[in-house]
Amino acid sequence: MDLPLTAALVPRLEILAHAGSTNDELARRVREDGGDAWPDRSVVLTDDQRGGRGRLGRVWTVPPGTSLAVSVLLRPVTPSGDPLPLQAYGWLPLLAGAALAESLRELGVPADVKWPNDVLIGGRKVSGILAELLPSGDAVILGTGVNLRQRSEELPTDRSTSLALAGLADPDPDTVLVGYLRAFGTLYDAYLAASGDAEASGLRAAVTERCVTLDSSVRVELPGGDVLTGTAERIDADGRLVVRPTDGGAPVAVAAGDVTHVR
């Protein structure tokens, strides 16, 4: 796979013939090579990921050559040189989702964001995003999987889609990836310049504009096993989804959960 546009954009790019999980591969390389060898925004990717991981430990595989699995190393620091506060890391998957949705729209694909970490086209998932904090505590690996060319029968669920099925006849991996990384860089730069303030950087507005979860009836499976149903009202300053329960109780700010849009 030849990606000249992407290679010119990032400080380090490793293209793997195949991988179990690109997040795991990047974490291993950072651990073995040392941090200096992998600067901020370094990328590991493959078009043959054989053990991709999603939220809640879900694992899936797709036919080789039909999707991209991209992991980006982030070492976020504020203008003063201090590490970005850990509480600000919760916005990074949302930032990635907004960037990918915007870049796909520039290609003519009407993509939107589903809180907290999916990108949808017409209500069907075309991308999932997984952020993982490295043990050092000052770096994050942001993994993004994008369905490029799968046919309907090759998709992991009947709620998924691919760029080809959405009307992009022959999705070029380099074009898709460089568009995503450029849009990501714009939002990321603004977020860091504002020291992780999602309001001042415009990130909250960008995510809100593309988030189809807002104003929807939702069912949220919470990490402890409880289920919350209600209406998604807004995303708060910490990136949490604020849900007004169906039973009329006080709004609940959800930091993590598996969200289903209820029709």
pLDDT of residue 261: 95
Residue-wise pLDDT for 92-119, tens only, equals 999 999 999 999 999 999 999 999 999 9
Q: Which of 216, 204, 200 is nearest to 114 (CA)?
A: 216
Q: What is the mean pLDDT of residues 8-23?
A: 96
pLDDT value of position 55:
52
* pLDDT for residue 157: 84
Pairing of strands 43-46, 13-16: parallel
Mean pLDDT of 113-128: 96
Contact 100, 146 (CB under 8 A): yes
Angle between helix axes 203-210 and 173-193 (nearest 10 degrees) is 140
Checking if the pLDDT of 262 tops 80, the result is yes
Q: Say what the pLDDT of residue 61 is.
A: 65
Pairing of strands 43-46, 67-74: antiparallel
For 192, what's the count of Cα atoms within 13 Å in the CB-facing half-sphere?
A: 17
- Per-residue pLDDT tens over the stretch 150-190: 999 988 888 999 999 999 988 999 999 999 999 999 999 99
pLDDT of residue 53: 58
pLDDT (0 to 100) of residue 50: 78
Q: Between the CA of residue 62 and those of 79, 112, 146, 190, what are the distances in Å? A: 41, 22, 11, 34
Supply the pLDDT for residue 263. Answer: 74
Q: Is the pLDDT of residue 242 over 60?
A: yes
Q: What is the pTM of this model?
A: 0.94
Q: What is the pLDDT of residues 57-93, one digit of tens each?
A: 555 567 888 999 999 999 999 999 999 998 899 999 9
DSSP string, the chain: ---HHHHHHSS-EEEES-BS-HHHHHHHHHHHH-GGGS-TT-EEEES-BSSEE-GGG-EE---TTSEEEEEEEE--B-TTSPBPPGGGGGGHHHHHHHHHHHHHHHTT--EEEETTTEEEETTEEEEEEEEEE-TTSS-EEEEEEEE-S--GGGSSSTTB--TTTTT-SS--HHHHHHHHHHHHHHHHHHHHHTTT-HHHHTHHHHHHHHBTTTTSEEEEE-TTS-EEEEEEEEE-TTSPEEEEETTS---EEESS-EEEE--
CA 5 – CA 176 distance, rounded (Å): 10
Could you tell me the two tokens for 112?
Answer: 């939107």
Question: How sure is the predictor about 31, in pLDDT bands with cuts at 50, 70 and 90?
Answer: very high
Q: Say if residue 240's pLDDT is above 90.
A: yes
Per-residue pLDDT tens over the stretch 204-234: 999 999 999 999 999 999 988 999 999 999 9
Two structure tokens written together for 124? 């069907």
